[in-house]
Amino acid sequence: MEAEDLVRVRIRDVLAVPGIDRLVATYFNPDTSFAGTSYDLLGENPPGVLVLDDLLATTLLDISWRPRAIRVLVDSGDYIASRLAAIPHDLDLWDADPDVLESVTALHQWLDGLPGVGPVIASKLLARKRPRLVPIHDEIVLRVLAPPKNQFWPTLAGTLTEPVLRDEIEALRPAGVDSPSLLRLLDVAIWTRHSRSRNARAARSAVGVREPD
């Protein structure tokens, strides 16, 4: 079985969990302690430049920025803007060609190399700037989907070329919650289902979703 087919199976395993729609809705409930839509909507988010609101928004996803990294980001505004200019802001991951993926990978690698950043924080920042193109990935997402090493983005891109699967993910969107991208809905479904954090466990208990094996 091809890697994309295996990832489709693993995504559908998450989507098939009884109550997963209620769990996703809990995450986006503004009365909870989750980031919800604030990650997408907080402050200003101009597509062509990195602003301080972007850094603040990512801290809602349980990360922090080291002073040296912030100084480098502020001093490198022109460089980041030039990189963002090569990455369309209105393109979905499954429609991206290899040149686009190469451009976004290059910026991700640059961010990854900043003091105290690493690949997870880099993905959270890029997903804020390009929510339709860049999926957040952390240990939980990589463990659950198990893509080939260093091939997460192209593998997920190939996986999501299936329109029916995209419709199944989109069906998780709570009523009135418009801002999160399809990639973000998928990330939230996986994280709330499999995270061992206290908040995720409490959310599962509250909506009657069984604990993961």
pLDDT tens, residue by residue, 114-167: 999 999 999 999 999 999 999 999 999 999 999 999 899 999 999 999 999 999
Mean pLDDT value across the chain = 96
| Cβ–Cβ < 8 Å for 154, 132 | no
Quick check: helix, strand or coil at residue 85?
helix
Q: How far apart are CA 201 and CA 161, in angstroms?
A: 32
Structure tokens at 197: 């954090």
* Other beta carbons within 10 Å of 41: 12
% of the chain exceeding 70 in pLDDT:
100
Task: Check residue 213 and give its pLDDT.
Answer: 85
Task: Check residue 41 and give its pLDDT.
Answer: 97
3-state secondary structure 143-192: HHHCCCCCCHHHHHHHHCCCHHHHHHHHCCCCCCCCCCCHHHHHHHHHHH
Average pLDDT over residues 37-51: 97
Any idea which residue has 């490198």 for tokens?
A: 76
Amino acid found at 103: S
Instruction: State the DSSP H helix or E strand holding residue 67, giving kind and residue range, or none if neither.
Output: helix 67-75
Residues 6+ apart with CB under 8 A from 44: 51, 53
**59: phi then psi, degrees, rounded to nearest 5:** -65, -20
Domain extents in the chain: 3-207
Instruction: State the DSSP H helix or E strand holding residue 101, giving kind and residue range, or none if neither.
Output: helix 98-112
Task: Check residue 17 and give its pLDDT.
Answer: 98
Residue 1 confidence (pLDDT) above 70 = no
Amino acid found at 75: D
Residue 207 confidence (pLDDT) above 80 = yes
Band of the pLDDT at 203, cuts 50, 70, 90?
A: very high
Residue 196 confidence (pLDDT) above 90 = yes
Band of the pLDDT at 43, cuts 50, 70, 90?
A: very high
Structure tokens at 69: 């990294």
Average pLDDT over residues 39-57: 97
Residue 208 confidence (pLDDT) above 70 = yes
Q: How far apart are CA 86 and CA 129, in angstroms?
A: 13
pTM: 0.96
